[in-house]
Amino acid sequence: MPIPVPMAVAIYFTTWWIVLFAVLPFGVRSQGEAREVVPGSDPGAPLLPRLAVKALWTTGLSAVVFLVILALFAYA
């Protein structure tokens, strides 16, 4: 029995956010580590967060996880 479209969208949306929070810390250097602290900001703030690249990685990884979830529903 296929998953209804609204349920599939909800599963993908939830998966995307979970994967985003898993991907966010990868490759981040703090301003304190780089010794380039912007006046008025926290030294632990990321220097270059590269959010667009992480969003692309998140989308791809989420698609893979989503396909695994669909396969589990289809064959279980």
pLDDT at 6: 96
Domain segments of the chain as ranges: 5-75
76 residues of the chain, pLDDT tens digit each: 778 999 999 999 999 999 999 999 999 999 988 888 989 989 999 989 999 999 999 999 999 999 999 999 888 7
User: What is this structure's pTM?
Assistant: 0.83
Give whole-number Cα distances, 69 to 9, 24, 39, 63, in Å. 12, 22, 46, 10
